[in-house]
């Protein structure tokens, strides 16, 4: 790959990062806190591309200025000169085209039910149970609900109607789960937190479909077949489809 192509790849990569960072696209892959770094990296890549392109242009121009007076003489010995100047460029750099194409053309979705059913629930005991606002129904994160239901035995949830948003995943035995992937840094470390659904569940559940579920606490707890982790249940009173949220991951662990 010569320097002009490298400059083009760098430019496209920088533009792709800027594009992902400026829209919600980056939230499918990394935590929200990385946005400024992504934008900065995009700018640096673009500046690198422009600098590469500019210095390369100057280099070839200088080369041509030297070359023009002796066009005839140089037909034979022009080849070795530039070869000595530019050492072989790394072939592995071609691979950088792959994430570029993946990001621009495919833009893969955030992790969904496939990863969720293959990975055990990552529920951890919360440090504290802050008191909840008095709104009814109470909007709550999937991770928050699961933590309170399992480790506080639903004390703060008693008598409350809660509203949760997550995507649907079906267990191997057909149990419907409402799942949110919790994220620390990037999708490579995303882990699911699952809640079992019981009560008035919609008759047809499509895996990966986003749902907003209203329901009440139930003491029932199951074990995740993958890692034996606790999966609390929610007694559903109402479920309706929801749009994919801007940030599909739960980032409450980052705060």
Partner 1 sequence: MAIAKAAPDDAKAAPDEEGTHPARQDADGDRKAPHTGPDEQDRQDRPGRPGRQVLGAPQAPQGGQAPQGGQGAAGEVASSDRPARLSSPLVLTMLLLLMVLLQSPVRRALSAPVMQSWMTVFVAVVVQALPFLVLGVLLSAAIAVYVPPSFFARALPSRPALAVPVAGLAGAVLPGCECASVPVAGALVRRGVTPAAALAFLLSAPAINPIVLTATAVAFPRDPEMVLARFAASLLAACAMGWLWQRLGRTDWLRLPAHAPHEGETKGAAFWDSVRHDVMHAGGFLVVGAMAAATLKAVAPASWLRTAADNPAVAVLTLAVLAVILSICSEADAFVAASLTQFSLTARLAFLVVGPMIDLKLFAMQAGTFGRGFALRFAPATFALAIASALLTGWVLL
- Residue partners of 96: CB distance under 8 A and separation at least 6: 9, 13
Is 127 among the residues that bind partner 1 (CB under 8 A)?
yes
Q: Which among 72-80, 131-139, 149-157, 159-167 is the span making contact with partner 1, rule CB under 8 A?
A: 72-80
Q: Which residue has the tokens 């659904």?
A: 197
Among 66, 185, 220, 237, binds partner 1 (CB under 8 A): 185
Site size for partner 1 (CB under 8 A): 101
Quick check: 249 and 110 in contact, CB under 8 A? yes
- Beta strand pairing status for 161-170 and 176-182? antiparallel
Contacting partner 1 within 80-119 (CB under 8 A): 82-83, 85-87, 89-90, 92-99, 101-115, 118-119
Q: Considering the rule CB under 8 A, would residue 165 count as an interface residue with partner 1? A: no
Do 156 and 130 meet the contact criterion of CB atoms below 8 Å apart? no
Question: Toward partner 1, which CB reaches closer, 82 or 237?
Answer: 82
- Under rule CB under 8 A, residue 242 binds partner 1: no
Sign of the torsion formed by the C-alpha atoms of 121, 122, 128 and 132? negative
Q: Does 129 bind partner 1 (CB under 8 A)?
A: no
Q: Are strands 138-139 and 161-170 parallel, antiparallel or unpaired?
A: parallel
Nearer to partner 1, 3 or 160 (CB): 3
Which is closer to partner 1, CB of 189 or CB of 220? 189
């Amino acid at each position: 790959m010569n320097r002009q192509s490298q400059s083009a790849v760098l430019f496209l990569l920088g533009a792709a990062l800027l594009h992902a960072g400026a829209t919600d696209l980056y939230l499918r892959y990394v935590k929200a806190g990385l946005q400024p770094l992504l934008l900065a990296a995009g700018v640096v890549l673009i500046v690198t591309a422009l600098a590469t392109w500019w210095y390369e242009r100057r280099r070839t121009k200088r080369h041509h200025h030297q070359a023009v007076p002796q066009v005839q003489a140089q037909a034979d010995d022009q080849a070795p000169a530039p070869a000595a100047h530019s050492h072989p460029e790394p072939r592995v750099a071609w691979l950088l085209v792959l994430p570029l194409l993946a990001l621009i053309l495919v833009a893969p979705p955030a992790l969904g039910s496939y990863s969720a059913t293959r990975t055990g629930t990552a529920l951890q005991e919360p440090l504290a149970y802050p008191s909840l606002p008095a709104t009814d129904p109470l909007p709550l994160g999937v991770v928050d609900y699961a933590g309170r239901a399992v480790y506080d035995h639903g004390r703060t949830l008693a008598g409350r109607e809660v509203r949760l948003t997550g995507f649907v995943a079906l267990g191997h035995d057909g149990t419907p789960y409402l799942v949110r992937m919790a994220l620390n840094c990037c999708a490579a470390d995303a882990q699911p937190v699952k809640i079992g659904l019981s009560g008035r569940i919609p008759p047809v559940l499509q895996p990966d479909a986003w749902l907003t579920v209203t329901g009440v606490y139930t003491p029932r707890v199951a074990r995740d077949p993958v890692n034996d982790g606790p999966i609390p249940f929610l007694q559903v009173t109402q479920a309706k489809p929801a749009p994919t949220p801007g940030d599909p991951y739960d980032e409450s662990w980052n705060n």
